[in-house]
A and B are shown apart, each in its own frame.
Chain A
Amino acid sequence: MIRPHDSLIVQSLGRFLIPVTQIFGLYVLFFGQYGPGGGFVGGVILGTSMIFSVLAFGHDASRSRLAKKVLHGDGVGMLIYAGVGGLCMIGGGEFLNFADFEIPGLETAARRSLGIVLTQIGVAVDVAVTAVSIVFSLSAEEIIEESTNG
């Protein structure tokens, strides 16, 4: 269990900084097609904001079992990525060849652009959740202590 930080400065700064960081992370994620950035960096920024919120406000990981659910979310990112690859195979396309999307009314380049956005979301979810999941794993010793003490 990660206890909330007892400093008022950290908590007030967290209330201000966490939403700003998350919006910046989303901006980096979706602006990755037009400038520096992309799924990996956006995911790391999103994950860092979540780590900050966990460290500043604490999380009762042992009781709410969010840590285990977060670990399942790790697979969701992979599933989005591989699922987008699998969608390309419907109708006889190649795996992860976004030009084979069976979406009427879109030209080939727009389909590939759409595929890039979707896979970037998958990478971002995977990276963000993995970062938070590692932080929960690193504080697992205290979870055990908590449960053995009652």
Chain B
Amino acid sequence: MATGILMTFSFEIPLLLLLLVTAVGAVLVQDLISAILLLGSYSFFLALVWAWLGAVDVAFVEAVVGAGLATVLFLLTLFGTAPRVSRLRLPPPPMAALVSLPLLGLLLLYAANDLPQFGDPQSPPSTHISPTYLEQSYQDTHTPNVVTSILMDYRSLDTMIETVVIFTAGIACALLLRRHSS
């Protein structure tokens, strides 16, 4: 039984273990620089998971943003705020969190039983509007990558507001961090 599971999920189980180790390590490690680098490697393993599930576009974004840009921004923030003291003294976690969070995890695992099988053609997400997109996308937009045509054409207004969010993030950073030097 156990070897059967190991054979079936020979790629998923090491990936999940690496995800767990890097996530727990990023929380528990005391040196902040190590925590940032562990978070970057966590993003990288998460990108591998997305790629393994077939979501290559999401994997690309996760690898570039999570493992690349966010790590650089975190490091710059750390060097800008606490150049000498980068060690963190963690307070012990409260008792309520120690009890309730594993229970919440159990609840989520229990609820995950009701999710449709991965790639199930009868599941609600694959029967609602996805077939229309997959069949019509090339004739409609001459764009072989369906993800791009959904993001930029069918859901163009969504993407525009996402761009507004990024724009707002840049403006907010400038308003908070830059002061008038004159």
Chain A positions within 8 Å of B, measured between CB atoms, are 28, 32-41, 44-45, 47-48, 51, 62, 67, 71, 74-75, 77-78, 81-82, 85, 95-96, 98, 108-110, 112-113, 115-116, 119-120, 122-123, 126-127, 129-131, 133-141, 143-144, 147
Contact = CB atoms under 8 A, between A and B. Distances in A.
B152 A116 contact: yes
Contacts of A116: 141, 143, 148-149, 152-153
A28 B112 CA distance: 35
B176 to A, nearest CB: 8
Interface stretch (B16-24, B100-108, B117-125, B154-162): B154-162
B35 interface: no
Contacts of A78: 163-164, 167
A112 B152 CA distance: 9
Interface residues of B, number: 46
Interface of B: 56-57, 59-61, 64-65, 68-69, 72-73, 76-77, 80, 139-145, 147-149, 151-153, 156-157, 159-160, 163-164, 166-167, 169-171, 173-174, 176-179, 181-182
Given A32-B148, A77-B163, A144-B181, A137 B60 contact: no
23 contacts: A33-B144, A38-B145, A38-B152, A41-B57, A41-B61, A44-B69, A47-B69, A71-B170, A71-B174, A74-B167, A82-B160, A95-B157, A96-B156, A96-B157, A96-B160, A109-B142, A112-B143, A112-B153, A116-B143, A116-B148, A130-B166, A134-B173, A137-B176
